[in-house]
Amino acid sequence: MNALQNIRVVLVRPIYGGNAGSVCRAMMNMGLSDLAIAAPRDDFNEYDAGKWAYSARSIWENRREFPGLKEAVADCRLVVGTSVREGLYRAHAKTPREWAPLLLNTAGEGRVAIVFGPEDNGLGNDDLAYCTGLIRIPSTDAYPSLNISHAVMVCAYELYMASGTVTERGEDSPEASSEIRERMFALWREALLKIDFMEDQKADHMMLGLRRILSRGKLTEIDVRIMMGIARQTLWLAERARGDEKET
């Protein structure tokens, strides 16, 4: 997690407060927190920024402002600029996925910056001169230009995915053991016989079919408990129905 904390998002001359707020939200979603504004505009709507940051307002409030990009990245070992345009300095841009391991490695040792240009024209050549590398986010030729908060989200998401902090939560309910699965199948066999779904001599064959259906994907303890519940309820009903039959 430490490496993510060493990654600074730098917005150069951002225009819309709402976008800057959305940038904060994307950063916090993905474990980033260091926001710098380079060359802030006089007419920037700070109210909108705080509003659209929602629960990530702390990132907006803790931002730092610098007179220019040069000052905003002065302490950074690696400075990568984002760009959709083609051109001399842009031909060798790599994707966020290609950049992520190097950025994280470097951020393990020191500060790293990812730089985003203003919404209208992106980073200019004077800004790119301070960048040691370039990120190009893959996009269609039909509409290559991403909203700035979407661009930050894609970069932050790739960093978060590569950071090793993504935990698989599928294990909340562990896969059912063979023992409990067999108890489930035994209960179903009993239930299916009791409701006359199958005859005794065809039961093994039918149970193979049920096993196949229930083995196509992971089967957790919760799943098994639900299936056993259905079988038990079916058994109870079948026994009650038989009882009623006898009574009549």
Query: To 5 degrees, how large is the angle CA 243–CA 245–CA 246?
Result: 65
Could you say which DSSP state residue 187 is in?
Answer: H
In the complex, what is the shortest distance from the CB of residue 11 to its own copies, in angstroms, rounded to a whole number? 16
Nearer to its own copies, 113 or 154 (CB): 154
In the complex, what is the shortest distance from the CB of residue 118 to its own copies, in angstroms, rounded to a whole number? 15
Total length of the chain: 248
Residues that bind its own copies (CB under 8 A): 22, 25-26, 28-31, 55-56, 86, 88, 91-95, 97, 136-140, 142-147, 149-150, 153-154, 157, 160-161, 165-166, 169-170, 172-173, 217-218, 220, 222
C-beta of residue 113 within 8 angstroms of C-beta of residue 80: yes
In the complex, what is the shortest distance from the CB of residue 181 to its own copies, in angstroms, rounded to a whole number? 17
Nearer to its own copies, 199 or 217 (CB): 217
Distance CA 242, CA 236 (A): 10
DSSP H stretches of helix in the chain: 2-5, 17-29, 46-52, 57-61, 69-72, 96-107, 125-128, 148-162, 178-194, 203-214, 221-247
Distance CA 149, CA 9 (A): 11
Distance CA 155, CA 165 (A): 16
At residue 3, what is the residue type? Answer: A
Nearer to its own copies, 80 or 137 (CB): 137
In the complex, what is the shortest distance from the CB of residue 161 to its own copies, in angstroms, rounded to a whole number? 6
Nearer to its own copies, 92 or 205 (CB): 92
In the complex, what is the shortest distance from the CB of residue 213 to its own copies, in angstroms, rounded to a whole number? 15
Nearer to its own copies, 19 or 234 (CB): 19
C-beta of residue 80 within 8 angstroms of C-beta of residue 135: yes
Distance CA 235, CA 191 (A): 5
In the complex, what is the shortest distance from the CB of residue 1 to its own copies, in angstroms, rounded to a whole number? 9
Nearer to its own copies, 39 or 155 (CB): 155
